Amino acid sequence: MILFLLFFYPFRNVALGMVCIGITTMLLAFAHFVLTDLDNPFEGTWNVDSKPFAELITKLRQAIRAGATSLTSSPARCYRLAEVKP
């Protein structure tokens, strides 16, 4: 929509208009690339490794099985952590 409206903006200089449309096109393409890449945080150019999360879940499960009560203030939270499946 933005690009479509830029075509009808009355630029006094044609070269300036083409530069503005080109910059806007590149910005929109980059924003689209970033949004689609961050759609899945474990894949893509900018990603997060899932190994630390798996280790954290393992440690929390071991602490819950050992009877640690200082992890959370609510027993419901401990129950939800115990139900998480890798």
Decide: pTM greater than 0.75: no
DSSP category for residue 46: S
Residue 12 placed within a domain: yes
* pLDDT of the residue at 7: 76
Radius of gyration of the chain (CA): 25
C-alpha–C-alpha distance, residues 18 and 10, integer Å: 12
Both 9 and 33 in a single domain? yes
Residue 80 has pLDDT above 70, yes or no: no
43 found inside a domain? no
pLDDT band for position 85 (cuts 50, 70, 90): low
Residue pLDDT, tens place only, 20-53 = 889 999 999 999 998 888 888 878 887 778 888 8
User: What range defines the domain where residue 63 resides?
Assistant: 51-83
Q: Residue 61 above 60 pLDDT?
A: yes
Number of domains forming the structure of the chain: 2
Long-range contacts of 3-6 (CB under 8 A, 24+ apart): 3/28
Within-domain flag for 42: no
Let me know if residue 46 belongs to a domain.
Answer: no
Residues 30 and 6 placed together within one structural domain of the fold: yes
